[in-house]
Amino acid sequence: MLNSIDYFDTLQASYYEVPLNGNAYYSTYFIKQGDNPKSKKIIYNHIGKMISYFVFDGEYKLSVN
C-alpha cells in the first residue's frame, strides 16, 4: 500500500461505526484528485436519516448539518 496513491485518481468508501458512548452512524464519501479535485461526504444516523452533507468542488464548499 505504500505509495499506492500514485496509481489512483479517485477513492470511494463507506463505513458503519458504533461508538461506545452515543448512537451508531453510517458514513460514505468520495474523493477525486487531479486538475479538478472534488469530494463529497454524507453521514446518516442509526435509522438511515441524513444528518450531515459536505461537498467540495475544488473551489467552493457546502456543508449542511
The string of pLDDT tens digits covering residues 12-30 is 999 998 888 888 899 999 9
pTM: 0.72
Please list the ranges in the chain whose pLDDT falls under 70: 1-2
DSSP string for residues in the chain:
-TTGGGG-SEEEEEEEE--SSS--EEEEEEEE-SSS-EEEEEEEETTS-EEEEEEE-SS-EEEE-
